[in-house]
Amino acid sequence: MSDFFGIHSPFIEHCGIVAVEREPGLARARVELTPPLLNAAGNGHGGLLMTLFDVTLAAAARGMRPNSTGVATVDLNVSFLEPANGVLDCEGRVLRAGASLVFCEGEIRDAAGGLVAKAMGTFKLITPRTAGQITSD
């Protein structure tokens, strides 16, 4: 999929992450685990799960401000609870949105509804006014 809630990201596409739903303060995404996405034990790779959280929580955050052009991840904390297998569904929710920072939480569940991982994240909204202030160094 070349469009994840209005953002084109070749990496998201490479990971097979698919946008499911987004409304203000909520986003859902899904990924089907295939052999290239597994770790040495045959479970979903932790880096993939972190990416799934990052894009899903960021989409929830971005949905709070229609004029934002994106978000920058400030902090992402993930707790891995069970091995990840099969199809994974991620839900991201906004806990609080300030003028420029948005605090989110999320969870990843397997097809049986089992809780695989939990996350907390902080995202900085990028608006046309702040776009030039974000640097990569």
Residue type for 134, please?
Answer: I
- What one-character-per-residue DSSP string does 32-87 give? E--GGGB-TTSSB-HHHHHHHHHHHHHHHHHTT-TT--EEEEEEEEEEE-S---SE
Q: Is residue 70 part of a domain?
A: yes
Q: Is residue 34 part of a domain?
A: yes
The number of folded domains in the chain is 1
Q: Is residue 3 part of a domain?
A: no
Q: Supply the CATH number for residue 32's domain.
A: 3.10.129.10
pLDDT digits (tens, 9 = 90+) for 24-75: 999 999 999 999 999 999 999 999 999 999 999 999 999 888 778 889 999 9
The pTM is what? 0.89
pLDDT grade for 132, boundaries at 50, 70 and 90: low
134 pLDDT above the threshold of 60? no
Q: Is residue 125 part of a domain?
A: yes
Q: Is residue 1 part of a domain?
A: no
Q: Is residue 24 part of a domain?
A: yes
Q: Is residue 43 part of a domain?
A: yes
- Judged on CB neighbours under 10 Å (0-12, 13-18, 19+), 65 is middle
Structural domain containing residue 129: 10-133
Q: Is residue 67 part of a domain?
A: yes
